[in-house]
Structure 1
Amino acid sequence: MQTRRALLKTSASLTFAAGAIAALPSAVLAKAPIVGRQAAGYYRLKLGDYEVTALSDGTVALPMARIYEGIEEKDAEAYLAGYFQKNPTETSVNAFLVNTGERLVLIDAGTGDLMGPSLGKLVANIEAAGYKASEIDDVILTHIHADHSGGLSRNGKRIFENAVLHVNEREANFWLKADAAAKSDLGIGPQIAQAEAAVGPYIAAGKFETFADDAAPVPGFTSVLRKGHTPGHSAIAIESKGEKIVFWGDIAHGDVLQYDRPEITVEFDVDQKQAAATRAIAFAEAADQKYMVAGAHHAFPGIGHVRRDETNYDWVPLLYSANY
């Protein structure tokens, strides 16, 4: 039975406890600061005997509703909103590292310091994934746009000092052998200058090679010319033990709109009509053959499959796995 003495004793204890809590350092009750950043951006998967590591260069908010061509901005914005994507749209920039057991091969090289502080995180994420830039044997570019080549060099020095750089021959000719008229063009001229600055140090060091259309950039890797976005834009593929993944480059920008509307292009496409035609071919092949696809601008890690649906296609992201 609870007596008056017991009640007083309990009350005294509670008063003492409250006083003790009040006497604790204020830091104990302080609110935690908002961090505002994610964990290191890498994701590994096994492909036969190979290990593939998806690497994030970061994300950037782009006005995709305005960048898309062949659709009114308000319609593109409404479509994206239907998938809970805002305008500007947070857009991933991804690269991929393949360890064959014999070679360490990087596919695309991120933005470097060309596109702002939310990007340019590729080297840090290579290191977080357990590698060093100096360990990479080869770099293969799907194409030479700044968000794929900007991370190759900085202040005239090669970031991947021991790597050979491989680029499709017609892609290299378009950007690195441009005439005076192209260089003075207000639209493409700055892009040519960026290409020269990024690739030039590898050429000077004798670490630059081109590959023909649909040829193997390095042993064990194949390429497929997917022109339109740029003249020599190429998909890069590997296979091991019956498994296949195709590194798509910029076949698609984003995960939704162009899958329902493959004819929609982006203002960055050098040849709009050809880019749309190429996308239709790439989508159909990926859906029919059911191989994995890795996209440079799909939400990180950017790996998944393409399937047909009642309106054209769907992007199906890879199911996350903590082990392999």
Structure 2
Amino acid sequence: MAGFSIRGLVCFVAGHGPALLLAGVAQAATGHVVEQQVPGVYHQQIGTLQVTALFDGTVALGRQELVGIEPGAVTRLLDHRYVPEDGKGLQTAVNAYLVQSGRHLTLVDTGTAQCFGPGLGQVLGNLRAAGYDPAEVDDVLLTHAHPDHLCGLLDANGKAAYPNATVWLSQTDADYWLNPASEATAPQGVRFAFALARKAVAPYDAAGKVRRFSAGQALPTGVTALDSQGHTPGHVSWQLDGGSQQLLVWGDIVHFHAVQFAQPTASYEADSDRTAAIASRRAMMTQAADHGWWVAGAHLPFPGLGHVRHEGDAFAWVPGEFAPLPAR
């Protein structure tokens, strides 16, 4: 491995197979067992944008959390897709994305930080491993206010992880998730998320750095918020202009990639409005496929960058090919 830089390598975490194989080779050659992957960082040039995928960790989602689709159909779609599954559920990545345009740094979503226990909360460390200082981030765009997307606004000490950034959250999601009155009437299973959301944005709010936006209001240059409500009341997907190419960071349009591209009508149990979530999923997939946009997905296998193509009345995911960065 002489001559290779760890910083530039990709951390693929779709399963333990490659890590175990690597460990076996290392042990056979040197007697040393490799116990961890390289940092979860991947760079992709998209037009004028340098995009860095940041791995936060994985969560397990049970196949029973898919609704609107028969269990037998789920089994058939998962067959030979090789999605790791244990007693807790299907392995599902949590990703965030740092986008550099010129000297401007934009972070889309922030990961889980301390909210979901061990194995997650790696975005901030991976951002540093990629060579960036969190204090350099200018804007944080939140797709929605769930803990795995905004808890990472805080560092391990509960302070603002991105002290100089402006945080952008849709007015609709802010009105719901930051309002204690909403918590009292919310389904029991999601009530824990309200306090986490309020805590995460508090230091930014105190500094006057939270922008609650509605349709038609000004956003950072080169950024468009696309209404993709359904998973939450104010869920948005972010389109970033790379000149010759466009990037769509679509948040939680997909949770079960092996199922929902082929069956867009299959919903996630946690969707607040399943009908709206299905409509948003079809709309985002259709636009991405029709226009050839790059897509970044919070819960697609890391690095979660690629394209969508039409497949009959449904869709398919086309992972991006590894590519070297252009010379600077």
Which residue of structure 2 lines up, in the alignment, with residue 84 of structure 1?
82
| 8 Å Cα contact 1:229/1:270 also seen in 2 | yes
Q: What is the Cα deviation at residue 139 of structure 1?
A: 0.6
Return the letter of the residue paired with 1:126.
Answer: L
Partners of 1:323 and 1:69 in 2: CA distance: 41
Deviation track 1:204-245 (CA, whole Å, cap 9, x = no partner) reads 221111111265531221111110011110011111222101
Q: What is the Cα deviation at residue 304 of structure 1?
A: 0.7
Give SS of 1:40's match.
coil
| 8 Å Cα contact 2:176/2:182 also seen in 1 | no
Partners of 1:49 and 1:311 in 2: CA distance: 33
Partners of 2:230 and 2:84 in 1: CA distance: 27
| 8 Å Cα contact 1:182/1:188 also seen in 2 | no
Tell me which of the two structures has the higher relative contact order, counting C-alpha pairs closer than 8 angstroms and 6 or more residues apart.
2
| 8 Å Cα contact 1:140/1:217 also seen in 2 | no
| 8 Å Cα contact 1:80/1:86 also seen in 2 | no
| 8 Å Cα contact 1:49/1:240 also seen in 2 | yes
Deviation track 1:190-209 (CA, whole Å, cap 9, x = no partner) reads 11111111112211221111
Which residue of structure 1 lines up, in the alignment, with residue 120 of structure 2?
119
Q: What is the Cα deviation at residue 143 of structure 1?
A: 0.5
Give SS of 2:261's match.
helix
- Asked if 1:48 is matched to 2:50, the reply is no
Out of 160-169 and 308-317, give the one that drifted further: 308-317
Deviation track 1:282-316 (CA, whole Å, cap 9, x = no partner) reads 11111111111111000111011110113511000
Which residue of structure 1 lines up, in the alignment, with residue 135 of structure 2?
134
State the number of aligned residues.
296
Give SS of 2:284's match.
helix
| 8 Å Cα contact 2:144/2:236 also seen in 1 | yes
Which residue of structure 2 lines up, in the alignment, with residue 165 of structure 1?
167
Which of 182, 205, 208 aligns to 2:207? It is 205
Q: What is the Cα deviation at residue 49 of structure 1?
A: 2.4
Q: Mark the CA change 1:123 to 1:310 in structure 2 (over 3 Å): closer, same or farther.
A: same
Q: What is the Cα deviation at residue 41 of structure 1?
A: 1.0
Give SS of 1:157's match.
coil
Q: What is the Cα deviation at residue 272 of structure 1?
A: 0.9
Identity over aligned pairs, percent:
38
Give SS of 1:158's match.
coil
| 8 Å Cα contact 2:46/2:246 also seen in 1 | yes
Partners of 1:227 and 1:214 in 2: CA distance: 16
Q: Mark the CA change 1:48 to 1:310 in structure 2 (over 3 Å): closer, same or farther.
A: closer
Q: Mark the CA change 1:270 to 1:29 in structure 2 (over 3 Å): closer, same or farther.
A: closer
Q: What is the Cα deviation at residue 278 of structure 1?
A: 1.2
Which residue of structure 1 lines up, in the alignment, with residue 291 of structure 2?
289
Return the letter of the residue paired with 1:85.
Answer: V
| 8 Å Cα contact 1:47/1:239 also seen in 2 | no
Q: What is the Cα deviation at residue 74 of structure 1?
A: 5.1
CA RMSD of aligned residues (A): 2.1
Partners of 1:292 and 1:91 in 2: CA distance: 20
| 8 Å Cα contact 1:254/1:299 also seen in 2 | no
Q: What is the Cα deviation at residue 176 of structure 1?
A: 0.9
| 8 Å Cα contact 2:288/2:295 also seen in 1 | yes
Out of 182-191 and 279-288, give the one that drifted further: 182-191
- Asked if 1:38 is matched to 2:33, the reply is no
Return the letter of the residue paired with 2:78.
Answer: L
Return the letter of the residue paired with 2:49.
Answer: Y
| 8 Å Cα contact 1:215/1:224 also seen in 2 | no
Q: Mark the CA change 1:38 to 1:61 in structure 2 (over 3 Å): closer, same or farther.
A: farther
Partners of 1:238 and 1:131 in 2: CA distance: 20
Compute the TM-score of the two structures, normalised by the length of structure 2.
Answer: 0.84
Which residue of structure 2 lines up, in the alignment, with residue 94 of structure 1?
95
Q: What is the Cα deviation at residue 321 of structure 1?
A: 1.1
| 8 Å Cα contact 1:215/1:223 also seen in 2 | no
